[in-house]
Amino acid sequence: MGLTTTFGHGEIISATSFNNTHSTVYAKALDNIDVLKKLNATVLHEVDATTMAGHSKLSGKNFDQIVFNFPHVGYVFGLKDKDMIRLNQDFVSGFFNNAGMILSVDGEVHIRHRWTSRV
């Protein structure tokens, strides 16, 4: 929420989620979505980060910054640790490949890991 509240508007922000966030387990998600919409940000659900460049609302756009918070495939019970690591590596690689297709020439990609401390 920091960017939209800092700018005071959200016209230049597109926020996406993989899940249909209206039925999410994230406690603050609905409040955050309401703030984004009130500030006129674009909010899209069911966007796969590994195929986002082909999404009808994102295709053909160029973004100056793409921020990906907590990229992780989730937990798949029964998989060995090395297999989970490979799934996550493939996921992040797919994200970077797609981000490159919609990133402006001098654009930046920022990834925030779950355990990254706030500065």
Segment 21-34, tens digit of pLDDT: 555 556 677 888 88
> 65 and 42 share a domain?
no
Query: Which range has the top average pLDDT, 9-23, 35-49, 94-108?
Result: 94-108
Cβ(4)–Cβ(41) below 8 Å: yes
Same-domain pairing of 74 and 108: yes
Task: Please report whether residue 52 resides in a domain.
Answer: no
Residue 51 domain-assigned?
A: no
Number of folded domains in the chain?
Answer: 2
- Looking at the structure, tell me whether residues 5 and 29 fall in a common domain: yes
The answer as to whether 55 is a domain residue is no
Looking at the fold, whether 41 and 65 belong to one and the same domain comes out as no
Q: Are residues 41 and 10 in the same domain?
A: yes
Residue 12 forms part of a structural domain: yes
Residue 102, domain extent: 60-119
**Angle of CA points 26, 95, 10, to nearest 5°:** 55
Phi-psi region of 31 (alpha: psi -120 to 50; beta: other; left: phi over 0): alpha
Q: Are 32 and 69 in contact (CB under 8 A)?
A: no
**Interval 55-94: pLDDT, tens:** 999 988 999 999 988 777 777 778 888 898 899 899 999 9
pLDDT at 117: 56
